Each structure stands twice: as structure tokens, then as C-alpha cells.
Amino acid sequence: MSHELPRLRVSGLVYRGDDALVLVRHEKNGRTYWLLPGGGVEGGETMAAALGRELAEECGLRGLPAGAPIALAESIAPPRDGSRRHVVHVIYAIAMPDAPLLPSSDPAVRDVRLVGRSELAELDLRPPIARFLERWRPGDPFVHLGSLWTS
């Protein structure tokens, strides 16, 4: 079996106040799921630069400062077709000013919106970190969320 090299994905836990978080909706193979805004780090690009680029593309948010990462998770797919997908997720917390979310310029993103923490359990969130997002508050220590996969 061949293994793909791990893909590094940065994402922003972009929050406004105590309850609202920014999520983006994707559709793939007839299924809808939600993600924290973010994406892959390109060769020669810092994680902070990648996060800034992705937030601009997916949400129209520019110039938001990303501090240190707050969480790390891995998604390792079960073997399929002789290969295995592996994504390392690095999550940053970013306070969102009172600015509008803009339509995404990313063709994979179908919707961008502020979601209340109480709504998270109802969504198909990838990776499955709803419980972490419900509980996280600014100032919490860094956490390793482990290996998570949702098929």
C-alpha cells in the first residue's frame, strides 16, 4: 500500500464574542459538511501566510492577526484504492472584528456564515471537533485533539 505524504492544513477558529464562530460549507459527492476556514500550506509559504490567504479567499477577511496555534489534530483515512490520505490540522484562534463576511472566491466553498456554539452539534463538521469548539475559550491551553476521521 502506498501512503500519501501528510498534507498540512491551517485553519482559523475565527470567533466574535462568546458564541459566534465562522464556518464554511463544502459539498462533495452529494454530501454537505462544514469546516473551519482554512486550507493547505503551499511550499515556501509560512503557516501564518497560508492562513491569511485562505481567510481572504474563503471569507473575505483580511489582515486578521493569528497568534500561536491553539490545537492540533490529524485525519488519517482508512486505506482505499491502495492509498491512504493523511491531513495534519493546525488550528489558530482569531478574534473577528465587527466586519462582514464576504462571499467566497473559492469554488469549493458553498456558504460562509457565523454559527452559534449551540448549533455545532447539528452540523457535519470536518474534522469532528464540535465538542472542542463548543468548549474552547480565549486563553485556554494548547490541546492535541488526536487522530480524527469522518468518512
When comparing pLDDT for 102 and 137, which is higher? 137
SS3 of 79-123: the string is CECCECCEEEEEEEEEECCCCCCCCCCCCCEEEEEEEEHHHHHHC
**In the chain, what percentage of residues exceed pLDDT 70?**
95
Q: Specify the pairing of strand 7-16 against strand 86-95.
A: parallel
Q: What is the mean pLDDT of the chain?
A: 90
Secondary-structure class of domain 7-147 per CATH: alpha beta
**pLDDT-derived band of residue 79, with 50, 70 and 90 as boundaries?**
confident
Residue 2 has pLDDT above 80, yes or no: no
Residue ranges per structural domain of the chain: 7-147
Burial grade of 76 (CB within 10 A; 0-12, 13-18, 19 or more):
middle
All three cell numbers of 76, joined, read 488519517
**pLDDT-derived band of residue 151, with 50, 70 and 90 as boundaries?**
low
**Could you check whether the bond before residue 127 is cis, i.e. omega within 30 degrees of 0?**
yes
